Amino acid sequence: MRAALRAASGVLGAVVAEPVVVGSSSRSVVLRCSAGAGAGSAIVKAFRDDPEGRRSFTSEAAGLSLGLAGPELLGVDAAASVVVMEDVGTGLSLADALVGGDCRLAGHGLRAWARELGRLAALSLPRRAEFDRRCAEYDKGVAWWGSEPWIERNGEEFLAVLDAVHVAAPAGLAAELGHLTAAEHRFPALTPGDSCPYNALLAPNGVRLIDFEGAGFQSVFLTAAYCRSPFPSCWCVCRIPDAVAAAAERTYRAEVAAVYPELGEEAVWEAGMRWATAVWTVDATAYWLPRVVAGDGPLHPRQPTGPTRRQVLRYRWERAEAALAGGDFRAVGETAGVLLRRIGEGWAVPPLPLYPAFAGAPRRAAIVASAAHSQR
């Protein structure tokens, strides 16, 4: 911690002190600090010296350096892997709204979150070369996760998992998995990487995105799927009413269609969303199924009363079977249906519930971590 404070002081040209830990992960530690006499507070994010920490430092520093969204970047010490940024406060997050009792606030928050993600994506297109230069400037020798063949790797692991649970791959599945990889670079735009609701703070004029550890360019459909699925890479997952999810998706789509006019065509958009649904279904199955075959557990280890892994995985299969039936990636959808009936329907878990904000529950569910509304 002392090394991080020294680095931050050097970046700001003022004594940074009185650190309070407001977030931590296997990749970084987040400190709220005083930033010199009369200067208020700043957030100091110190990244761990391991591959994931170094990768995350590069993405965060490069992503915030564009100034398109998120906290204002105040400075970077690349040698120390420290990023100093604006303190955007501790207001309610979108996750707080979703597990609260105000459905209007939750719906408004979802649309504001989708608008900010779409705005970031649209503004980023002419800045791709600059982002790449920043990544090179802050490079720590570990490539951004999105530049790795993760979709291809997931496909290989998906087939291995099917074999392990004795489910035969239907005709055409291998070819469809190849098509998933081939389409991953269509309509690229900048994403923060972790677009989950606990990384979106509600503000009077919209939403502030606060975690850019996974920032990089990827297909806009992978982000749009967070509206429809929802939140395919997150742990605070419950269902969203279809009409509410559709409104958020339309909001995001309107922003990205302004720079990619083809996305205004219904056939193009729906084909892309089927692709993204297949990608995230393969991802969830490859990761979670080996971990839930023997037993269940909370999606997040520190939130035992939240949704369980089996609940969420079964929900992903239900959604994929319905979304992919008779169209693109029908073999992926068929596989999801087989897994659902042969494995998922045997799990003694209730259906994934609606978020409390949409279920008429004025209670605060214990889904979001105690620091969910703090800056990550």
- What DSSP assignment string belongs to 261-314? GGGGSHHHHHHHHHHHHHHHHHHHHHHHHHHHSS---BSSTT-TTS-BHHHHHH
pTM, entire model: 0.92
Q: Which amino acid is at 287?
A: Y
**Sequence-ordered list of residues with C-beta below 8 angstroms from that of 221, at least 6 positions apart, any chain:** 186, 187, 272, 273, 275, 276
What span, in angstroms and rounded, lies between the C-alpha atoms of 328 and 326? 7
- Enumerate domains of the chain plus CATH numbers: 2-86 (3.30.200.20), 98-358 (3.90.1200)
DSSP letters spanning 87-100: ------BHHHHHTS
Q: What is the average per-residue pLDDT within 336-361?
A: 93
12-28 pLDDT, tens digit each? 999 988 889 998 888 99
What pLDDT score does 17 carry? Answer: 87
Residue 363: per-residue pLDDT: 41
Q: Which of 84-93, 242-251, 298-307 has the highest mean pLDDT?
A: 242-251
**Where does the pLDDT of residue 229 fall: very low under 50, low under 70, confident under 90, or very high at 90 and above?**
confident
Between the alpha carbon of residue 335 and those of residues 98, 190, 201, 262, 289, the distances in Å are: 31, 31, 37, 30, 13
pLDDT value of residue 38:
72
Question: Nearest CA to 281 among 224, 321, 245?
Answer: 321
